[in-house]
Structure 1
Amino acid sequence: MAAAGAPLPNGPTPSRFARRGFLVGAGAAIGVAGLAGARWFNIAATVQERDLTAPEALAAAQAGEILLVDIRRPDEWARTGIGQGAVAIDMRRTDFIEVLLGHVGGRRDVPVALICARGVRSAKMSARLDAAGFTQVLDVPEGMSGSGAGPGWIKRGLPLVQPN
């Protein structure tokens, strides 16, 4: 094995710039991966004015004050269950808004709270429902699995049911 800066057998001497370039590139890749992980786990999430914690969402759903909608995928529902009192509607459905309107009797003024795994998808869907004319859209930013907004429905030990 050649010493640092020594000629390689049958080749040129690696320069300090080449080694630095590799280290800078590796550092950038690690930084990008860290940012992607931070976004996936939604560590910057906080509870805002139109948000509910998981326990607040459970209490409001059980009291009939909101319609709590779990917008995750069916495989996620099967893996963890859905929160007691929630209805499961996959957000990827092309008829999502029509199905939701069926649950609220066609009224866009009924309080609807959205929950997903970590609050990323529910925040996006909240904006979509706002644009569709829903006037009382709430978010549960800690989600089922937890985020920067809180530990999540599952870690809080809140009740779960299997979807129909």
Structure 2
Amino acid sequence: MPDKTIRTRRWILFSGGAAVAAGFAIREYRLIPPSYAGGHLSVQAAHEQAVSGDVLLLDIRTPREWDATGVGEGAYPLDMRRDDFVQALDQLTDGDRSAPIALICARGVRSARLSNRLSEAGFTNIIDVPEGMLGSAAGPGWVRSGLPVGTYEEAVQ
């Protein structure tokens, strides 16, 4: 009987260790942005080009995130989880899928993924802002760079 107890304990320890390892792997996958072959902008360049009207800068984060940090000056908040995201984007660009569109999220992961998806959907001038609002390996991000932010209401006016 003790042999069976030892095997059961080993199985429990092994299963628990495997679950922890799988959890870390999933977390890391979610934090590593996929490569995006298209254009990239620093947060400073994205701000300058958005304010001048040279690029449509979309803040693709969630309303909760916009409330927490604000929306970057010159950016338009458009939650990427919307079912009608592509239709809303077509409306913002008057159907011009060659218009320059820059995407920013919190840390560059979602913007890289969405950049790839939009390119596959026929948008030809998608630009990623890999630093994000909060910073990443690409740089300090919008907030720590001291770039101006406003409220959601100010951004959609």
Larger Rg: 1
SS at match of 1:138: strand
* TM value normalised by structure 1: 0.76
Q: Distance in 1 between matches of 2:34 and 2:135?
A: 10
Matches within 5 A, 1:39-54: 39-42=29-32, 50-54=39-43
Tell me, yes or no, if the aligned pair for 1:61 and 1:86 is still in contact at 8 Å. Answer: yes
What's the offset of the Cα at 1:48? Answer: 5.9
1:97 alignment partner AA: V
Tell me, yes or no, if the aligned pair for 1:71 and 1:90 is still in contact at 8 Å. Answer: yes
SS at match of 1:154: helix
1:37 to 27, 31, 50: 27
Q: Distance in 2 between matches of 1:29 and 1:64?
A: 48
Matched, 1:154 2:143: yes
SS at match of 2:40: coil
Matched, 1:80 2:102: no
Tell me, yes or no, if the aligned pair for 2:73 and 2:148 is still in contact at 8 Å. Answer: yes
In structure 2, do the counterparts of structure 1 residues 39 and 129 end up closer, same or farther at CA, with 3 Å as the change threshold?
A: same
User: What RMSD over aligned residues (CA atoms) do the two structures have, in Å?
Assistant: 2.4
Q: Which structure is higher in helix share? A: 2
Match of 1:22 in 2: 12
Matches within 5 A, 1:9-158: 12-13=1-2, 14-15=5-6, 17-42=7-32, 50-158=39-147
Aligned length: 151
What's the offset of the Cα at 1:113? Answer: 0.5
In structure 2, do the counterparts of structure 1 residues 73 and 108 end up closer, same or farther at CA, with 3 Å as the change threshold?
A: same
1:60 alignment partner AA: Q
In structure 2, do the counterparts of structure 1 residues 117 and 163 end up closer, same or farther at CA, with 3 Å as the change threshold?
A: same
* TM value normalised by structure 2: 0.79
